[in-house]
Amino acid sequence: MTTLVVAAYAPELAELAELDRLPADVIARAVGIGLIDAAAGTVRALAELRPARVILVGTAGALPQTGYAIGTVCTVVVSTLAVRPCEFVPEPMITLVESDGALVARGRALGLPTADCVSGVGITRDEDEARRLFAGAHLEHLECFSVLRVCAQAGVPAVALLAIANRVGPNAHAEWRANRVAAEAAVQAALLRLL
């Protein structure tokens, strides 16, 4: 049973690859940054590798009031597509996707907190918008919705493990830059435990 581990970009997988810490039946791939590139990269990887399951790893921003500390690794239960107040979404369009229940249960058994995640075109910098998004999510991650949706369409069980690197808001990018290496290490350690 091959497990495909994906991340938006190679540095989120670098330590695992350099240390050759992945089991033989696990393949790691960077699939692309953002909704579109992550979807396209995931489609390519699924077609090429035909994995039995997919685990997305990465860093995320915590929305206000979550209480999650920097470095906390969460198992994503549901991912939604960010719909801004000025946008109309046709009713048939899918805006919510669930992670595989068995993989979420494995994360819970390891003591990882669960969270819902929202994905948009860009990183939210406005505090009011961050508070609005918090009404339906705990985390913001640019690729989560795309990866989980592609896997759902392909019938491949998938889950996301995301480590908090920043708070969503005006300082998000600066915080991410300061904390991303430690958050990447935390999510990679959690992945190894999950495998």
**Mean pLDDT value across residues 11-31:** 84
Going by their DSSP bridges, the two strands 158-167 and 53-62 should be labelled as parallel
- Write phi, then psi, for 100 (nearest 5 degrees): -65, 130
Q: What is the pLDDT of residues 122-150, one digit of tens each?
A: 887 777 777 776 777 889 999 999 999 99
- Highest CATH level, class, for 3-194: alpha beta
pLDDT at 45 over 90: yes
**Mean pLDDT value across residues 102-125:** 92
Using an 8 Å Cβ cutoff, are 164 and 74 in contact? yes
Q: What is the pLDDT of residues 55-103, one digit of tens each?
A: 999 999 998 788 899 999 999 999 988 777 777 879 888 989 999 999 9
Using an 8 Å Cβ cutoff, are 63 and 134 in contact? yes
Instruction: State the pTM of this model.
Output: 0.93
